[in-house]
Amino acid sequence: MKRYINIIKYKPVMALLVMVLFLPACEIDDIPDPNNPTTESVLVNATVDDLNNIVVGTEAGMRNFLGTYYENVGVIGREHYRLSNSDPRFLSDLLGGENAILDANTFYTTNPWAGRYRVVKNANVLIASANNTTLISEEERQGYMGFAKTIKAHQLLMNLTMMYEPGIRLDVGDPDNLGPFVEREAALDSIALLLDEGAEHIASAGELFPFTLSLGFGDPEVDDDFETPAGFLQFNRALAARVAVYREEFDEALELLEDSFLTLNNDFDRGVYHIFSSASGDILNPLYIAQNESGEIRIAHPSFIEDISPNDDRRSKVSKREEAAEQSDVGGEYDVFVYTTRTAPIPVIRNEELILIYAEANIQTGNFPEAVRAINIIRQGHGLTPYVGALTEEALIDEMLEQRRFSLYFEGHRWVDMRRYNRLNELPIDRPGDDVWTTFPKPFIEEAF
C-alpha cells in the first residue's frame, strides 16, 4: 500500500536559508554572496534549534539539481530521451551524437556535483557543531551524528555514480585544503565505512531523535516510519546493502538486508522519499512533465514498451501520446509518466529495490532457489507468471537485471546496473555514431585543485 502524503513538513524559509548558508565543500561556484552569514554561530555551543535548522536544510538540499541527475543517468542509460527546444545537449552530448562528448564545464556535470557537495558541507557542519556543544545530551549528539553521516554517504554515492572513473573527493572538510580524488573502489569502501559509523551512532541515539524529518521519512503516527532512530537505522542499512552489491560484497549485502526494512512481499513502495509541495518557499517535483507536451518532452525509449510484457502493470510507467514526438532523429510514442503530479515523491530507496538486491545477492552466492523466490515476488506482484527459465547464474542475472529495469525505471539505476555488469554495449543505439558513456568527466573546476 502506498503511503504518499503530499504535505510538506519542511520549514521552507529556514530550509532555503540553510541551503544558501552552507556553500559546497568543493569550490564549484565562483560568485560568493557577501550577504550570507558565516557558520561560526553554530560551530560553538549550538542549541537544539540551531542543529535542527541544519537538519532541515540538509534534507531539503538533497533535492537540489535532482532533476538534472535523473536526466543524466536516464538518457545515457537509454531509459528515455529528453526532447528540449531550449537545449539540444540532452540529445547531443548525453547521447554522444556525431562528434559530441560530455562537457566537464556545463550544467549537466557541474550542477549535480555541486548540489551533492552542498549537502555534504551541511552534514560536515552538523557533525562539527554537534561535537562542539554542551547544550545537548549524548543521545541527541549521537542522533545528529548518525543522521549526518548517513546522508553524507548517500550524497557521496550519488556523485560517485556519475564520476565512475575519475572518482570523488571524500575529504572536503576544509575548502582551502581539499583532499585528493579517490578512485571508485576505495571510495565505495569509504562510503560503506561512513554508513557503518552512522549506524553505530544511530544505535546509541535512544528512542526518538531531537529533530523532525519530512514526511518522506514517514508519518510519525505510523509505527513503521523511518524518522525514529530504529526506523532510520533500517534506512541506513538499506543504503549500505546497495553499496555492498556495488562493491560485489554479496554475503555482506544479505547480512545488511536483515537489519534493513526489507519485506519479502509486494509492499513495493514502502521506503524513504524526497517529497515536494506547492507551498511558498518549497519546490515542485523536477521530474514531472505533463503528458502530450510539445516543447519540453520526456519520451520513453521505444525499447521499453517493446520489451515489457503486455500483462506487466509496470507498463503504466509510460503513457501513449496523442501524437508521436521526435527531435534530432530520435523519439517515440510514449511519454515517461513515473511521476504523475507536480508533487509526486521521488524514492531514495524502497522495498522493491531491496527485494531485487536480495535476489541479486542470492544469485551471486549460489542460492538460486531463494533468488527465484524473490524474483517471483516481483514478477507476480506485477501480473506476470512465475519464472520458468534456467537455474543458472547467467540466466538468473539476466532475469534479475530485466526486473530491475522495469521495477526501478527512471529511478536512477539502469545505467549503473548495466555498467557494473559490463553490459553497456547492450544498451540500444538509435543513431549511427552515438555513444554510451561509461562516466562523466571530472568537473572542470576541480582541475584547479
Exposure b/e, 229-245, CB count within 10 A at least 16 = b: bebbbbbbbbbbbbbbb
Question: Could you read off the pLDDT tens digit of each residue along the chain, which spans 449 residues?
Answer: 333 333 334 444 334 334 434 334 344 343 333 334 356 678 889 999 999 999 999 999 999 999 999 999 999 999 999 999 999 999 999 999 988 999 999 999 999 999 999 999 999 999 999 999 999 999 999 999 999 999 999 999 999 999 999 999 999 988 889 999 999 999 999 999 999 999 999 999 999 999 999 999 986 555 568 999 999 999 999 999 999 999 999 999 999 999 999 999 999 999 999 999 999 999 999 999 999 999 899 999 999 999 999 999 999 999 999 999 999 999 999 999 999 999 999 999 999 999 999 999 999 999 999 999 999 999 999 999 999 999 999 999 999 999 999 999 999 999 999 999 999 999 999 999 999 999 999 999 887 55
Q: Are 346 and 283 in contact (CB under 8 A)?
A: no
For the chain, what percentages of helix, strand and coil (3-state, to nearest 5) are there? 45, 10, 45
Angle at 339 between CA 262 and CA 149, to 5 degrees: 45
The pLDDT, as a whole number, for residue 7 is 32
The pLDDT, as a whole number, for residue 445 is 86
Exposure b/e, 125-158, CB count within 10 A at least 16 = b: bbbbbbeebeebeeebbbbbbbbbbbbbbbbbbb
Specify the CATH class of 267-275+307-425 in words.
mainly alpha
Determine how many CB atoms are found less than 10 A away from the CB of residue 181. Answer: 15
Q: Give the up-direction half-sphere exposure of residue 124: CA atoms within 13 A in the CB hemisphere.
A: 20
Which of 400, 395, 393 is CA-nearest to residue 418? Answer: 400
The pLDDT, as a whole number, for residue 38 is 53
Q: In 3-state terms, what secondary structure has residue 365?
A: coil
The pLDDT, as a whole number, for residue 32 is 37
The pLDDT, as a whole number, for residue 339 is 97
Domain spans, the chain: 11-212, 267-275+307-425
CATH number belonging to the domain at 11-212, selected among 2.40.40, 1.10.10, 1.10.3470, 1.25.40: 1.25.40
User: 119 CB contacts (<8 Å, ≥6 apart)?
Assistant: 58, 61, 62, 64, 151, 152, 155
In angstroms, the CA 191 to CA 155 distance is 10
In angstroms, the CA 354 to CA 147 distance is 21
In angstroms, the CA 58 to CA 22 distance is 9
Report the predicted TM-score, pTM, of the whole model to 2 decimal places: 0.91
Domains 11-212 and 267-275+307-425 share a fold: yes
Q: What pairs with residue 182 in β-bridges? A: 168
Cell of 48: 537544539
The pLDDT, as a whole number, for residue 447 is 75
Q: Are 10 and 56 in contact (CB under 8 A)?
A: yes
Which of 1, 72, 240, 42 is CA-nearest to residue 144? Answer: 42
